[in-house]
Structure formats: structure tokens, C-alpha cells
Amino acid sequence: MLRRRLLDRLDVPTIAAALALAAVGMTAIASATSQQPGRAGLWKTQLAWLGIASLAAVVVIAVDYHIWAEFSLSLHGVTVALLVAVLLFGKEVGGNRSWLAVGPVTFQPSEFAKWTTCLAIAAFLAKRVHDRIRFVQALQLGAIIGVPMLLIAKQPDFGTALTFVPIALAAVLLGGLRWRVVALAMCLVALLAPVGWRHLKPYQKERILTVVDPGRDPSGIGYQVRQSKIAVGSGRLTGKGLFKGTQTRLNFLPAQHTDFVLAVIAEELGFIGAAGVLALFYYLLYRGLLAARSSQDRLGTYLSLLAVSWLTGQAAINIGMVLGLMPTIGVPLPFLSYGGTALISVMCGIGLIANVRGRRFVN
């Protein structure tokens, strides 16, 4: 009976939108890597990952979200333990110790941390008695978000750590923090910013300064931003055609199949392609909001809204980077960028939304 209801209530539009985005991403990955030795078949790997991610999403949808919430803190605890393990035994890739190897499989616990964080916050907010966040609760929330975030920043993977910021903001907004506290926190951040600036590595400072002044060092740090903007801009209205982007194929564009995959789409499919991706994202996020509104309880609402916030924030950071509005920072575009763990993670996020949507009140 449960199985039948699940099939009846499966949130097909949401899942379809997610799969559509993933399909666009795979096309772009295929185009971006077709000229790169040893990477030509990467889109197939991504397809395999999509299969695994879909399976994971099915598991997420199949289990009632109340049960997920019940075990949220345990799950979150396991993730935090994995993050600690990463720091101790992790595999270093490109200067970042963010990978954990289990047999032949390597994965990034930091990607799962986003999912468990959303789950844990939603459970925490739904469970409390008061409507507003109090001091103790603020500390508890801070621990839920801050611990994985700091562990990830320690890897050091500032890009992934940064994606926790929109989740935290959403938690505060949805949880109902007093404006006075918000103002106080902002003052604190403003005061601590110069201290943090001093702790940044020189290349990170360069990246931030490049956003302010794109002409800065056009062959160095500014190079990636500049080449990305050239790729996007030269796509014009209809693009250069799939597999015909010169910026992409001649390697001017950095990290074409991962962080800058949207630039590939914008170059080869033009404004129409870019607008299409934005539209798909909007539709997906709108479905999330819809799930929140029609949820049978607050837990469902919180879960959906947090998942929406996470995906929105991560997408915004990535697109902002591609368009040169944000510092160059390694954040994948949800569903589109190449990367198995990230895909599983966001599909599980979509799973939460579909889960809530599928268990809404039916009149």
C-alpha cells in the first residue's frame, strides 16, 4: 500500500526538472571533454553517477521524511565523523584533503554534510516550542552548521564551506531570529572580516580583488574570470553550436567540465541556452517552494525550504563565479557540473523535496 501511494504521489515534475538539468550538464561535459586526452568518455561516467544518484534519491523518497528527521542528528553525527576521518586519513587532490577512499570508491563527505545539515536543521526547527530562535538555540544551530563547515574549511575547501553560508542564512530566516540579534551578528562579522582577511592565502585575496577589478592581472588570477566571460559573451544569442565552442575546445576556459560548465553551455548554446538553464533552475526551486507550501506539517516545510536554500545558494555562487561577479572558488553547479558525490548529494536534496511533496495533505 505504501508502495502504491508512493508511485501515485511521485513528484514527477520536480524529478524531471532535475534530470533535465543533469542531461544538459552531461551534454556540456561531453562537449567540454571531447578534445581532452583521456577525458573524452567522462560524460558516461557522469551518466553512471546519475544512475547511482537516482537510486539514492529513490531511497530518500521511499523513507518517510519524519523518519529521516528522527535520525537526523545521528546521520549528521556520522557525517561529522567522516569529515574528521577525512582530515586524518583523507586523500589529497589538488592541495585539498577532501576525499575519502573506501576500497576503489572515493567520495567527498563534505557533499553529504550539506544534506545532513539541512535535515538536522529542519528537524531542530520543527521540534522546538518557541517561534523564535533564542540564545541557546542559536548556539545549537551554530553547532549543527558550524562544526561541519569548520571541518571542511580546514581541508581546506573554502568553496564547499561557503555553500553552508546560504544554508545558515536560511536557517536564521526560517527559524525566526530577532532582528536585533541579526544586526549584532552582522556587526560581529564586519568586525572580524579584517582578521579573516589576514588569514586568507595570497591567491585567495587575489581572487577576491579580481572581482572588484577584473583588469587586475589578466594573465594570472584574472585570466580564468576573463576567459569565462569571453566564453559566455561570445555565445551571443544562439551560441556557437554544440561541440563548437572555441573557448571550450581550445582550452582557454579553465575547468570546463566542472566548475565552469555553465560557461560551456552559454558559449555553445548562447543566451537561449543560459536562459533555459536558469528557467529549469527556477522551475525546480519553485517546485521546492510548492512542496513547502503544501506540506502537511512544519517539518516538511522546513525541509523543503532548506533544500531550496541550499541549491539556490550553491547555484548562485557558481553562476556568480562564471559571470565574474564572485571570486573564483571551487563550487560545482548543482546537477550540471561533473562530479559523482556532488550529484548524489543534490539528487538526495531533490529527494527530500519530492518526499515532502509526495506526502502532502490531499484534500
Amino acid at 83: L
Q: In angstroms, what is the minimal distance from the CB of 177 to other proteins?
A: 11
Alpha helices (H) along 176-260: 179-199, 202-212, 221-234, 246-249
Q: In angstroms, what is the minimal distance from the CB of 242 to other proteins?
A: 16
- Using a 10 angstrom Cβ sphere, with 0-12 exposed, 13-18 middle and 19 or more buried, the burial of residue 267 is buried
Q: In angstroms, what is the minimal distance from the CB of 266 to other proteins?
A: 7
Separation of alpha carbons 244 and 227, rounded Å: 16
Q: In angstroms, what is the minimal distance from the CB of 282 to other proteins?
A: 5
Helix axes 12-33, 340-358, angle to 10 degrees: 170
Q: In angstroms, what is the minimal distance from the CB of 354 to other proteins?
A: 18
Separation of alpha carbons 157 and 138, rounded Å: 25
CA 223 to chain centroid: 25
Nearer to other proteins, 61 or 152 (CB): 61
Nearest-5° angle of CA 89, CA 94, CA 98?
A: 35
Q: Which three cell numbers stand for residue 119?
A: 535535515
Instruction: Give the chain's length.
Output: 363
Nearer to other proteins, 235 or 330 (CB): 235
Nearer to other proteins, 59 or 251 (CB): 251
- Residues that bind other proteins in the complex, under the rule CB under 8 A: 64, 66-67, 69-70, 126-129, 131, 170, 173-174, 176, 227, 229-237, 246-247, 250-252, 266-267, 270-271, 274-275, 278, 281-282, 285-286, 289, 292-293, 297-299, 301, 305, 308-309, 312, 316, 319-320, 323, 325
Nearer to other proteins, 90 or 334 (CB): 334
Nearer to other proteins, 7 or 67 (CB): 67
CB 196 within 8 A of CB 137: no
Q: In angstroms, what is the minimal distance from the CB of 74 to other proteins?
A: 15
Amino acid at 196: G
Q: Which three cell numbers stand for residue 21?
A: 538539468
Q: In angstroms, what is the minimal distance from the CB of 326 to other proteins?
A: 11
Nearer to other proteins, 216 or 229 (CB): 229
Nearer to other proteins, 83 or 123 (CB): 123
